């Protein structure tokens, strides 16, 4: 089967438009960043909730979070959604040092909405 695939003929890298390569399947930077933040939160909760039962409250807060901002373009919607999610989980930081650490680490990623070149958080208690 491998003989049927000709790298030169089947993969013509010159056919790609440079703009399309950066497009990331139609996602804007803001959407991609917001989804990454949600994924980090989900993965962190899944990884550590057995060791830190308070993370179940965080899991519930995240799963109950909804944003209703109709007629808003991506460049405004996703930063707003991230900010609202942050505000939604902030009260839990008073109940748990772990949630406070996750919240603080999340703020580093949220700052990237303003400065796309900023380095996002990569850490142990907010998985990358």
Confirm whether 107 is domain-assigned: yes
Task: Answer yes or no: is 38 within a domain.
Answer: yes
**Does 13 reside within a domain?**
no
Which letter does DSSP use for residue 64 in this model?
T
2 located within any domain: no
With respect to residue 17, please indicate whether it lies within any of the assigned structural domains. Answer: no
Q: pTM (2 decimals)?
A: 0.74
* Domain with 105 in it: 27-113
CA–CA gap between residue 65 and residue 123 (Å, rounded): 24
- The per-residue pLDDT for range 73-122, each reduced to its tens digit, is 888 999 999 999 999 999 999 999 999 999 999 999 999 898 887 777 77
pLDDT, tens only, 26-66:
889 999 999 999 999 999 999 999 999 999 999 999 999 99
Residue 7: HSE in the Cβ half-sphere, 13 Å Cα cutoff:
0
Distance between CA atoms of residues 28 and 57, nearest Å: 30
Question: From the DSSP assignment, how many helices (H) and strands (E) are in the chain?
Answer: 6, 0
What is the domain count for the chain? 1
């Amino acid at each position: 089967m491998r003989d049927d695939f000709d790298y030169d003929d089947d993969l013509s890298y010159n056919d790609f438009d440079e703009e399309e390569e950066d497009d990331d399947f139609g996602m804007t930077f803001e959407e991609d960043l917001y989804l990454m933040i949600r994924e980090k939160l989900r993965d962190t909760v899944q990884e550590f909730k057995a060791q830190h039962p308070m993370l179940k409250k965080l899991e519930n807060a995240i799963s109950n979070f909804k944003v209703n901002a109709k007629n808003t373009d991506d460049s405004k919607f996703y930063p707003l959604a991230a900010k609202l999610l942050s505000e939604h989980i902030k009260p839990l930081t008073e109940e748990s040092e772990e949630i406070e650490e996750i919240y603080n680490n999340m703020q580093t990623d949220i700052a990237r909405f303003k400065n796309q070149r900023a380095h996002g958080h990569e850490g142990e208690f907010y998985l990358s």
